Amino acid sequence: MKAGREAVIVGVAEAPLAAGKLADRDVNVLGAQARVAVRALAEAGLTLADVDGLLTSGSWGVPGPGRFPTMTLGEYLGIEPTFFDSTSVGGASFEAHAAHAAMAIETGYCEVALITYGSTQRSDRSRALGSRGDGLTSQFEAPFGLPLPVGAYALAAQRHMHQYGTTSEQLAEIVVASRGWAALNPAATARDPLTIDNVLASPMISSPLRRLDCCLVTDGAGAIVLTSARRAESAATLPVRVLGSSEAHSHTHIAAMPDLTLPPAYRTGPEALRRSGVSIGDVDVAMIYDSFTITVLLTLEALGFCGRGEGGAFVEGGSIAPGGSLPVNPNGGGLSSSHPGMYGIFLLIEAVRQLRGEADARQVAGAEVALVSGTGAVLSSAATCVLARG
Amino acid sequence: MDAETERFWTALRDERQLLLRRCRTCGCHLDYPRVVCTSCYGGDLEWVRSLGTGTIHSFTVSHRQVGGFDLEAPYVVALIDLDEGARLLSNVVGSEPGAVRIGDRVALVIEDLSDDRSVPRFSRITG
């Protein structure tokens, strides 16, 4: 790699929410992305005129112009990118976008990459991922009433409990921990204290997952700007390096998942760390996709923070809560901060804030290395990035 | 139903049989009909009749009523490992949801959703 071409994140921004909806009432999903894009660029001393790489994914505008996400967003913003990517693997898409943008910057294919995401699912009063329909390979899943995505995660949780004796109490520890972090984050949506008993008393949705095992349903919009280290010298923000990344996917439908207890993060975690030259013990902050409590537990095991089947014991006693041995999702995550349908960009944004030292009351002291691991669809995809301060 | 899968659905509806695609090269039974073997990537596949017996690999009791679905919540959605080795998503019917366990043996029950459409479901084999 040519000197000065390492990829760094120089700008991040997320849209403020009010009671889970976009605080800005005068925008649609494209306008929401436009506003965060402008802010993320501005904090790096850049404007839309500087952008030559555009990456986005979302569930908006389909059928319709959303069939061409980067073209439609580019048209709206008035930019004509010469590098673009709308990799669409669910919530992990944005970690994959960061990896692809980094590769493009490192090879000189792109100079300034803008990644955006937006969703107005809460304002639109729509839940879940929207109907998958029953076409093509969905025709073998659609007739059987599996509530999606929760039912697929429930199948994985049930199997993990059977194989390893994991309990509902252990899963509850995960959302209780996220509330503890959310109490330190004024931007989080759900900040009231939560106990394990509260979680176990919440209504069963799809056994063994209860309502409080599930992420929030909110609006959201976020943007990230990456550029080369040389170009980053003129940015006002403390640069965050993308040290290494990895991505993998194995299925769309839960019946095709090779092992319900082993999501693709088992490949991407070790590979991203290996490419970064970082060992798992060096990780100061873990940003782990938390669509459901079980998602966090399975991913902690898959990434190697603990052994297979040990996730339940690992999260007991507040180990991932404020003051615990491994800070996980110190913004409150999808379980307590926000979850607009695809959460991955917010994992990256919080990691950047932590590494810059901008996280106020929820700051993890001395955070220098963050591991960010997105999960998409139904434990279908994983993309992991290792970020470092400076 | 489409050109690749029509045989699967008409066999359920008209012949009361669950058909699987089997790879003639490696013997693997595919989870759903397709024209390439996911195990050896060969293209020489045949239709075979499943015995219709299997084991529950995992399940969930849905308390949410999915729109347009014919069974009333709470109902059981399960991953069934057929004895041939293919895995299907389906429903377990004919049992109290609370009685279902991973590892239970099940057998095929073909249910008619309409005059045109029949689906493979499973009931627990007790005793």
Which tens digits make up the pLDDT trace of A198-212?
Answer: 999 999 999 999 999
Q: What number is the ipTM of this complex?
A: 0.97
User: How many other C-beta atoms lie within 10 A of the C-beta of residue A115?
Assistant: 29
CB contact under 8 A, B88 and A155: no
Banded pLDDT at A129 (limits 50, 70, 90): very low
Q: Are A99 and A89 in contact (CB under 8 A)?
A: no
Contacts of A145 in chain B (CB under 8 A): 62, 66, 69-71, 75, 77, 91
Mean pLDDT in residue range A21-49: 96
Contacts of A141 in chain B (CB under 8 A): 89
Contacts of A164 in chain B (CB under 8 A): none
Bridge-based pairing of strands A240-249 and A381-389 is antiparallel
| Sole residue written with tokens 């700008």 | A11
Average pLDDT over chain A, rounded to an integer:
96
pLDDT tens per residue, range A305-346 = 999 999 999 999 999 999 999 999 999 999 999 999 999 999
pLDDT tens per residue, range A337-389 = 999 999 999 999 999 999 999 999 999 999 999 999 999 999 999 999 999 99
Backbone angles phi, psi at A273, to 5 degrees: -65, -45
Is the bond leading into B33 cis (omega within 30 degrees of zero)?
no
Surface of B (9-68) touching A: CB under 8 A: 31-32, 57-64, 66
Banded pLDDT at A133 (limits 50, 70, 90): confident
Token duo for residue B65: 């009523």
Closest partner residue to A143 (CB to CB) among B61, B75, B113 is B113
Question: How far is B122 from B106, CA to CA, in rounded Å?
Answer: 6
Bridge-based pairing of strands B75-82 and B87-92 is antiparallel
Mean pLDDT in residue range A32-47: 96
Q: Say whether pLDDT at A132 is over 70.
A: no
Banded pLDDT at A130 (limits 50, 70, 90): very low
Closest partner residue to B66 (CB to CB) among A136, A147, A254 is A147
Taking CA atoms, A367 is separated from A233, A315, A326, A357, A387, in Å, by 21, 21, 11, 7, 11
CB contact under 8 A, B63 and A139: no
Q: Say whether pLDDT at A3 is over 80.
A: no
Residue B99 contacts A, CB cutoff 8 Å: no
Q: Of A325, A329, A327, which Cα lies nearest the Cα of A348?
A: A329
